[in-house]
A and B are shown apart, each in its own frame.
Chain A
């Protein structure tokens, strides 16, 4: 019997990666985003965007590349906060919205890191921005600080906080 401490103790197969990605990107609350999308193209980053929809441009982390159907027009990135990625999206796609839904980029962050990433999105994309945040997956002292305190402390101006369920929020920015 082998004792396993973490994901670093073994290699994931392509099939396992596929299962893991699916578990990490459950389609819950999708309607709450799609019904609010403005007309035009939307860019979905690490959000399992529907690449068969001509109004959606899906960007996925390069580490998942092997699990996607190569015939789909999915684009891949290496660094979420790369200026090149931001520039390419703004210059060549000219989206009306950028969507972050169930993204690993917004999980296991401290409130400071979450705030930084939200501000990065606002500074990078002059569009409507939707960010799904599950506060269960945010790293803070949960005996000391309430969820209400944390979500209010990380949002920027021009943000509507949609409460989707207990601890789950959709931030609608701009």
Chain B
């Protein structure tokens, strides 16, 4: 049996940039799927984001284009100067990229991290990560946002019916409240 050849992008990299990639495909796919319903609709995961934030500026990273006209999204500036942040991970992202991508918003008071869990990847097996993926994701987010209140919303047994590739259904709503 031939061994698979792996691309360079799958090799272990130590990137340290406050960035999560984005592209237009995800927005187009949201528009296409929304057009399947004749009336005006919002995906439940999008509505949760809209409900979570207030009018103050929101530092946005990743695939946040859809929310530019609906929320006060800012993508320039120093993230630390803002009290709210939205990170949407919809494109292939390694565990390391995710970690460093969220580093720059970890001290912000109110953060929503929305992740398409299908597009994450790790370059090598990690024995210390627990088996249940949803719980492992929560633990991962807790390491970046320790001692914070985290509301974890996800679809158990997520398959292809919940528009996850247009707007991620795994969401973490992070605040400073300890209740």
Complex CA distance for A104 and B92, rounded to whole angstroms: 20
User: Do A10 and B37 contact each other (CB < 8 Å), given the known contacts A4-B42, A143-B122?
Assistant: yes
User: Is A163 positioned at the interface, with any CB of B under 8 Å from its CB?
Assistant: yes
Do B40 and A12 touch (CB < 8 A)? no
Of B29, B44, B120, which contacts A143 at CB under 8 A? Answer: B120
Complex CA distance for A155 and B4, rounded to whole angstroms: 11
User: Is A141 positioned at the interface, with any CB of B under 8 Å from its CB?
Assistant: yes
User: Is A75 positioned at the interface, with any CB of B under 8 Å from its CB?
Assistant: no
Within 8 A of A (CB), among B8-48: 9-10, 29, 32, 35-37, 39-44, 47
Do A143 and B32 touch (CB < 8 A)? no
Do B4 and A146 touch (CB < 8 A)? no
Do B4 and A23 touch (CB < 8 A)? no
Nearest-neighbour CB distance to chain A for B170, whole angstroms, equals: 11
User: Do A142 and B120 contact each other (CB < 8 Å), given the known contacts A1-B40, A23-B29?
Assistant: yes
User: Is A123 positioned at the interface, with any CB of B under 8 Å from its CB?
Assistant: no
User: Is A35 positioned at the interface, with any CB of B under 8 Å from its CB?
Assistant: no
Point out the residues of chain A lying under 8 angstroms from B95, CB to CB. Answer: 143
Complex CA distance for A19 and B119, rounded to whole angstroms: 23
Of A6, A139, A152, which contacts B161 at CB under 8 A? Answer: A6
Complex CA distance for A13 and B162, rounded to whole angstroms: 18
Contact count band on B: 35 or more
Complex CA distance for A158 and B2, rounded to whole angstroms: 9
Do B121 and A146 touch (CB < 8 A)? yes
Interface size of A by CB at 8 A reads 44
Do B44 and A3 touch (CB < 8 A)? yes
Complex CA distance for A2 and B43, rounded to whole angstroms: 9
Q: Which residue of B lies closest to A137 (CB)?
A: B118
Within 8 A of B (CB), among A72-99: none
Complex CA distance for A22 and B96, rounded to whole angstroms: 34
Do A8 and B161 touch (CB < 8 A)? yes
User: Do A16 and B41 contact each other (CB < 8 Å), given the known contacts A142-B118, A143-B122, A163-B7?
Assistant: no
Do A139 and B159 touch (CB < 8 A)? yes
Point out the residues of chain B lying under 8 angstroms from A147, CB to CB. Answer: 6, 10, 121
Nearest-neighbour CB distance to chain A for B101, whole angstroms, equals: 14
Do B40 and A151 touch (CB < 8 A)? no
Q: A141-B131, A146-B123 are in contact. List 15 more A-B contacts (CB 8 A).
A: A1-B42, A6-B161, A6-B163, A19-B35, A139-B118, A139-B159, A143-B126, A143-B136, A144-B130, A144-B131, A146-B121, A146-B125, A161-B4, A166-B10, A169-B4
A-B CB contact pairs (8 Å), 13 listed: A2-B41, A3-B42, A4-B43, A141-B131, A142-B120, A146-B123, A147-B6, A149-B125, A159-B1, A161-B4, A163-B6, A166-B7, A167-B92
Going nearest first, the 6 A-B pairs with the smallest beta carbon separation are: A141-B133, A144-B129, A108-B159, A16-B36, A161-B4, A142-B120
